[in-house]
Amino acid sequence: MTLTAQQIWPEEFAQRYRAAGHWRGETFGSYLRERAAAHPERVAIVAGDTRWTYAELDARADALARGLLDAGIKPGERVIVHLPNIPEFLSVVFGLFRAGILPLYALPAHRITEIEHFANSGEAVGYVAAERHDGFDYRALARELKTRVASVKNVFIVGNADEFTSFDALEAQGRASNTEPVPPVPSTVAFLQISGGSTGLSKLIPRTHDDYIYTLRESARICGLDGDSVFMGALPIAHNYPMSSPGVLGALYAGSRVVLSPSPSPEAAFPLIERERVTDVSLVPPLLLVWMQAAPGTKADLSSLKVVQVGGAKLMPEVARRVRPTLGVTLQQVFGMAEGLVNYTRLDDPEELIIQTQGRPISEDDEVLVVDDQGNAVPEGEAGYLLTRGPYTIRGYHNNPSANARSFTEDGFYRTGDIVKRTPEGYVVVQGRATDHINRAGEKISAEEIEDHLLAHPQVFDAAVVSIPDEYLGERSCAFIIAQGERPKGAVLKQWIRSRGLAEFKVPDQVVFVDSFSATAALKVSRKELRAALRAQLTAQD
């Protein structure tokens, strides 16, 4: 298995990133230990009535590291972490990091089909979930997972575990244990994140301690986090963005307090902002709209908020312009990707840059190219494909040579799939994208993946899934269907997607039946052109 930075970055680059002080040989386990030593009594995590100090989080992570090793999981092996925004998310990932075991992050919305794919492609040996969340019983998923994927031996459940090991038992066992975890090497892979999955199934993204901690350190600095900051994790923190840009991990790196909201809705988040005097939060554009609608009428005192970050999908300038007047905060645009490159507008940037652009890269060593179809640089200010490499952008997906051949150039640039322009100041303006996925409120959906599932339905002859502009979601998904025999109801096909064990956000928002894919979209053209023609057809009708 290819799990070291040496195999991810060529040695000359690794040396350069170390010499520049980007990679400092820290690990997740070591930075938590240092913070806990520096300010043991400071509150690290708040969720509901739970308040853990840095010392407590540190001790829990130690206990879990021992418990996980005693359960027979070995350093370098992978454990799927399938948890909502609860404190145990953080204690278990730090426990895994300390034991040198790799978390593989799944979103709470993922269901058996996705988890099975992650377990197979990451050869996972364990699965951690909460008993229930949002009405869904994750123990049932765990049972199914164990029957489908033989490598998954250990299941740990927060709450009532039934036949599985309870999280409390795991931690108690670890507290009583003398096992000494061997600290992981900073240049090795610390965890696997999942890709947005533009073509078919999600790919696994290997990130090292060195490279990711560099982004946490710089993100916390760029976002102005320090010991007085209170960062709210409102979006699901398994997402790379609320995890790391600066996210909950960046906030803990900076010694800030992390407040976890069970949901990003104003009803859940606003009272918590008042109670905990939250200063920073990251949102996706549709949520920003909801917050801006709710803020003027709320009884909650939101005056502690200083910075609201918005990223994950394009923020329209006319919305961006209203942020400061409506919420009384500084807007920070964030354009990033789980594969690496993250751009931020800086807090003291001129207002127009904050409103009109998606920021500039974290690092002076982020190499950013904007190229045409032939791979040649376009003149400054013109739109082109964004390619990038740098000290925290991966050089390849985990165990996936065919995706790597498509997604990376020979000299190691990642093809982001985004179409961007650059301003004279080096700021990026996202124009669109070349890949065929749907960015539904920041959740990336692969058209191909959903088409494959629709095609498995006996009454579907052909299917094309496209993104349609949507006032609230930014984009919504529309499935064009040519029926086989009698047309099923749209609702039946939506239910079909659910029954295939997929995340709810992948269920098409709209189903449109057509007799054929029309002359423009005859079989000669690629799926991509077909989707473009159908999208144009529907948008023209609107």
Q: Which is nearer to ligand J2J, 84 or 197 (CB)?
A: 197
Question: Does 361 interact with ligand J2J (rule: CB under 6 A)?
Answer: no
Site for ligand J2J in 215-244 (CB under 6 A): 240-241, 244
**295: which DSSP letter?**
G
**Closest distance between ligand J2J and the C-beta of residue 132, in Å?**
26
Question: Does 312 interact with ligand J2J (rule: CB under 6 A)?
Answer: yes
Question: Does 69 interact with ligand J2J (rule: CB under 6 A)?
Answer: no
Classified as helix, coil or strand, 458 is coil
* Alpha carbon distance 257, 525 (integer Å): 53
**Closest distance between ligand J2J and the C-beta of residue 324, in Å?**
18
Q: Which is nearer to ligand J2J, 108 or 311 (CB)?
A: 311
Q: Which is nearer to ligand J2J, 127 or 427 (CB)?
A: 427
Cβ–Cβ < 8 Å for 211, 354: no
- Build a one-symbol-per-residue string for 245-274: x at contacts with ligand J2J by CB under 6 A, - elsewhere: x-----------------------------
| Contact window for ligand J2J (CB under 6 A) among 332-340, 365-373, 455-463, 492-500 | 332-340
Q: Identify the residue whose tokens are 């894919």.
A: 517
How many chain residues interact with ligand J2J (CB under 6 A)?
24
Question: Does 416 interact with ligand J2J (rule: CB under 6 A)?
Answer: yes
User: Quick one: which of 44, 272, 338, 450 contacts ligand J2J (CB under 6 A)?
Assistant: 338
Question: Does 335 interact with ligand J2J (rule: CB under 6 A)?
Answer: yes
Q: Which is nearer to ligand J2J, 64 or 355 (CB)?
A: 355
**Closest distance between ligand J2J and the C-beta of residue 198, in Å?**
9
Question: Does 17 interact with ligand J2J (rule: CB under 6 A)?
Answer: no
Tell me how far apart the 2 most distant CA atoms of the chain are, in Å.
Answer: 71
* Alpha carbon distance 193, 467 (integer Å): 24
164's CB contacts (< 8 A; 6+ apart) are 139, 142, 155, 156, 157
- Build a one-symbol-per-residue string for 182-201: x at contacts with ligand J2J by CB under 6 A, - elsewhere: --------------x-----
* Alpha carbon distance 90, 144 (integer Å): 26
**Closest distance between ligand J2J and the C-beta of residue 511, in Å?**
25
| Residue 504 Cα distances to 184, 264, 454, 494, angstroms | 36, 17, 15, 10
Q: What angle do CA 190, 44, 79 make, to 5 degrees?
A: 30
Q: What angle do CA 268, 160, 150 make, to 5 degrees?
A: 110
Cβ–Cβ < 8 Å for 116, 161: no
Cβ–Cβ < 8 Å for 61, 54: no
CB atoms within 10 A of CB 502: 21
Site for ligand J2J in 431-460 (CB under 6 A): 433, 439, 442, 444
Question: Does 314 interact with ligand J2J (rule: CB under 6 A)?
Answer: yes
Residue number closest to ligand J2J, CB atom: 336
Helix extents (H) in 71-181: 87-99, 112-121, 138-148, 167-175
**Closest distance between ligand J2J and the C-beta of residue 249, in Å?**
11
Residue numbers of the site for ligand J2J (CB under 6 A)?
Answer: 196, 240-241, 244-245, 311-314, 333-338, 342, 358, 416, 418, 430, 433, 439, 442, 444
